[in-house]
Amino acid sequence: MTASFNTIQLQANNLVTLANWMAGDFSNYKQSFDNPKLYAHIHISFRPLPFDFFNSIGFYSEQAYDYDLWTPYRQGVHKLVEQEKQVYIENYSLQDSILYAGASRELDILRTITQDSIKRRYNCSMIFRRDGEMFHGIVEPGNSCLIEKKGCLTYLVSDVEITETTWKSIDRGMHPETHEQIWGSEHGPLYFEKVRSFANELTS
């Protein structure tokens, strides 16, 4: 039998709560305004995919500079999976990502994403645990989420904190042998506030 959103809502409160908090457009305007030399003004957007895309709750995401919202520098697809005492988020890349630029802002583009458009990023899932009025997420253990940047193969270290209205994150690429930081923020986490919610789209 096909699972329904209502069934998941009854059985997986943490998953549904996290999904509702994730669904939105987040901006670090205040951080950027206060420290423009250190932080660019960035938007992180998580737009719910139709429920039948994964037969589960899923998202399309974009990260873009405020001055060029229709040219995101990072895009992804994400599937939320309930596990004991935690929420496991599978991450997928888009094989022709430029075709879907702006999908977080235009539903007609979002609906063109298909299963054939995405590829699983193994070893790069995020694991979230609830801590009071916050979810804390990290990359699955093993240092095996590999990303090549600056001519060097690195492993991703990602730390995220989500509340109903905020998003705090820091991503760093580490050398697999020396464990030195190769890329990523040198000035601490990015602090975002939700400027628009898409939670009403989670039941569609």
Instruction: With respect to residue 92, please indicate whether it lies within any of the assigned structural domains.
Output: yes
pLDDT at residue number 175: 95
H-only helix segments in the chain: 5-11, 13-22, 29-34, 107-110
Render pLDDT for 19-70 as a digit per residue (tens, 0 to 9): 999 999 999 999 999 999 999 999 999 999 999 999 999 999 999 999 999 9
Render pLDDT for 88-147 as a digit per residue (tens, 0 to 9): 999 999 999 999 999 999 999 999 999 999 999 999 999 999 999 999 999 999 999 999
CB-count burial class (<10 Å; 0-12, 13-18, 19+) for 64: buried
Instruction: With respect to residue 138, please indicate whether it lies within any of the assigned structural domains.
Output: yes
Instruction: With respect to residue 200, please indicate whether it lies within any of the assigned structural domains.
Output: no
* Encoded tokens for 25: 């457009």
Instruction: With respect to residue 201, please indicate whether it lies within any of the assigned structural domains.
Output: no
Residue 53 belongs to domain spanning: 5-195
Render pLDDT for 143-183 as a digit per residue (tens, 0 to 9): 999 999 988 999 999 999 999 999 999 999 999 999 999 99
pLDDT at residue number 12: 53
Instruction: With respect to residue 129, please indicate whether it lies within any of the assigned structural domains.
Output: yes
Tell whether the model's pLDDT for residue 8 goes beyond 70: no
Instruction: With respect to residue 166, please indicate whether it lies within any of the assigned structural domains.
Output: yes
- CATH code at 44? 2.40.128.590
In sequence order, the β-bridge partners of residue 184 are: 172
pTM for the predicted model, two decimal places: 0.90
pLDDT at residue number 5: 53
pLDDT at residue number 6: 52
pLDDT at residue number 123: 97
**Whether 191 contacts 31, CB under 8 Å:** yes
* 15 half-sphere exposure, CB direction, 13 A CA radius: 24
> For residue 114, what is the enclosing H or E element?
none
Instruction: With respect to residue 35, please indicate whether it lies within any of the assigned structural domains.
Output: yes
Instruction: With respect to residue 37, please indicate whether it lies within any of the assigned structural domains.
Output: yes
Give the chain's domain count. Answer: 1
Tell whether the model's pLDDT for residue 11 goes beyond 50: no
In sequence order, the β-bridge partners of residue 130 are: 135
pLDDT at residue number 186: 86
The Cα–Cα gap between 131 and 26 comes to 21
pLDDT top residue among 33 and 11: 33
Q: Which residues contact 34 (CB under 8 A, 6 or more apart)?
A: none
Select from 156, 152, 158 the least CA-distant residue to 136. Answer: 158
